[in-house]
Structure formats: structure tokens, C-alpha cells
Amino acid sequence: MSKRLTHIDESGAARMVDVGGKAETARRAVAGGKIRMSAAALAAIKAGDAPKGDVLAAARIAAIMAAKRTAELIPLCHPLAIDAVNVDFAFEEDGVRVTSSVSITGRTGVEMEAMTATSIALLTIYDMAKALYKGMVIGEIRLIEKQGGKSGHWRAGD
């Protein structure tokens, strides 16, 4: 059974999916990722002693801005009037884990906005701390959970 690709029209050209006829519903997506770094860089971020200033405050603002501009970055994404963006950081033994959640009342989901927010938060941490350690590794960016829309509720591991 072949599935029709939603972003390709009958002639094979790329298209933005028409969501105009869909009902507006509450939707939410959560994404996460991690940046690994040296113990010294991690300690400086925890202490607020990074050369460029408050690393996590800058990363949080960058993530929120990125979520709001996802449609400018990813082709065929719909521009969305986002209701909320939350960005959390957790210190781990070898780095920082970022979790971003995005919510909307709308006709399409916000998975890409949540993953964009997480990605930009991680890149901002790298930029703010690269003077401390250039060998940081960004990874594990993934959708953790989504709620709303036709596919309902989904959680990683389900």
C-alpha cells in the first residue's frame, strides 16, 4: 500500500499542505536534546562564569525566538501563532540536557517548532561556551511527545 506524500502535489512539485479546512484544536509538542562538554566548561556554565555571560539565559531566549521563526527556516512549514514556549535545562554529569515544549491552538502541530527551539538552544550553548571548550558535541535531538490533532497523543517509547 503506497501512501500519498502530503507535501508533493499530483505533478510531483513541492507544496504547502492546505490546513484551512481543519478544526482548530489544542496541540503541544515536547522535544529534547543534549550537549556534551568538558567538566570545566560545565562547571563554568553552572557557576555563571562563562566569558560571554549567562549561557542558559541566552539559550532560553534564542530557543523561544527560534520556535516563533520556524516557518522561516524549514521549507513548507506553516507560520504559526504560538501560544507558549517553555525551555528547561538539566545539568547532567557530562553536559546539559535541553527540553522545549511548544503549545498552540491551531490547525497544525508544533513538532518542528519544539525541535527547532531545542536545536537552537543547544547551538547557543555551544556559541556561548566555545571559548571554554570547542569539542562540545550536540546530539539526541528528538521529539519526546506530541498531543492533539488527528494522530492524538504520542510519546517516545510508546
pLDDT 10s digits, 93-131: 999 999 999 999 998 889 999 999 999 999 999 999 999
Burial 96-122 (b: 16+ CB within 10 A, else e): bbbbbbbbbebbbbbbbbbbbbbbbbb
pLDDT, the chain, mean: 91
Residue of 18, 88, 127, 158 marked active site: 127
Q: Let me know: does 124 contact 59? Beta carbons within 8 Å.
A: yes
Which of left, alpha, beta for 134 (phi over 0: left; psi -120 to 50: alpha)? Answer: alpha
pLDDT for position 4: 65
Q: Strand order in 154-155's β-sheet?
A: 84-92, 95-106, 25-36, 137-147, 154-155
Amino acid identity at 22: K
Say what the pLDDT of residue 44 is: 97
- Does residue 127 carry a catalytic annotation? yes
| Phi and psi torsions of 60, nearest 5° | -65, -45
Domain limits, the chain: 29-147
What mean pLDDT comes out for the span 67-85?
A: 94
Q: Is 76 left (phi over 0), alpha (psi -120 to 50) or beta?
A: left
Question: Is 113:79 a contact under the CB 8 Å cutoff?
Answer: no
pTM comes to 0.89
Identify the pLDDT of residue 1: 39
The correct CATH number of 29-147 out of 1.10.150.120, 3.20.20.70, 3.30.70.640, 3.30.70.141 is 3.30.70.640
